[in-house]
Chains A and B, each alone.
Chain A
Amino acid sequence: MLIIDLNALPNGAHRNQTCDGITPPDGWAVVPTELEAQTVPLLPFVTLTVANGKITAVADNAEAREAAKKAEPVVVPEPTAEDIINAILGV
Chain B
Amino acid sequence: MAYTKHTWLARLGTGLNKFLNSGTSTNLVLTPNPDSITQQGSPFSATWMNEMEQGIYNGNTLTGTSAPTTSTAGVVGQLYLNTANGYLYKCTAASTTYTWANVADLFTMLSALSSSTPSTTSKLPFYNGSSAYYFTLDTLITTIGAAKIVTGSYVGTGGVGSSYPNQLSFSGAPQMVMVYTDYYGASSSTSSLSGKWTVTRILLAKGVSSIPSEAGNGSTVNYTLSTSSASWYTNSGSAGQMNTSGTTYYYIAFIVS
Hey, which bits of chain A sit against chain B, CB under 8 A?
3, 5, 9, 11, 13-25, 28, 40, 43-45, 68, 71-72, 75, 77-78, 80-82
| CB <8 Å contact, B245 and A72 | yes
Does B150 sit within 8 A of A, measured CB to CB? yes
| CB <8 Å contact, A25 and B169 | yes
Does B93 sit within 8 A of A, measured CB to CB? no
B150, B191, B245, B246: the one within 8 Å of A19 (CB): B150
| CB <8 Å contact, B154 and A16 | yes
Besides the known contacts A15-B157, A17-B154, A23-B169, 11 further A-B residue pairs in the complex with CB atoms under 8 A apart: A3-B169, A13-B157, A13-B245, A17-B153, A20-B150, A21-B150, A25-B228, A40-B155, A44-B158, A44-B246, A78-B189
A-B pairs with beta carbons under 8 Å apart, 18 shown: A11-B158, A11-B159, A13-B159, A16-B157, A18-B153, A19-B152, A20-B150, A22-B169, A24-B169, A40-B155, A43-B155, A44-B157, A44-B245, A45-B245, A68-B158, A72-B245, A77-B186, A78-B189
Determine how close the nearest CB of chain A comes to the CB of B166; give it in whole angstroms.
Answer: 7
Query: Interface residues of A: mostly helix, strand, loop or mixed?
Result: loop
Size bracket of the B interface: 20 to 34
Determine how close the nearest CB of chain A comes to the CB of B184; give it in whole angstroms.
Answer: 9
Residues of A within 8 A of B194 (CB): 80
**Per-position 1/0 for B45-57, Cβ under 8 A of A:** 0000000000000
Total A-B residue contacts, Cβ distance less than 8 Å: 77
A9, A13, A17, A45: the one within 8 Å of B169 (CB): A17
| CB <8 Å contact, A72 and B158 | yes
In chain B, positions 116-174 with a C-beta closer than 8 Å to chain A are 150, 152-159, 164, 166-171
| CB <8 Å contact, B171 and A23 | yes
Residues of A within 8 A of B158 (CB): 11, 13, 44, 68, 71-72
Does B224 sit within 8 A of A, measured CB to CB? no
Q: Give the complex CA separation of A75 and B153 in angstroms.
A: 24
Does B102 sit within 8 A of A, measured CB to CB? no
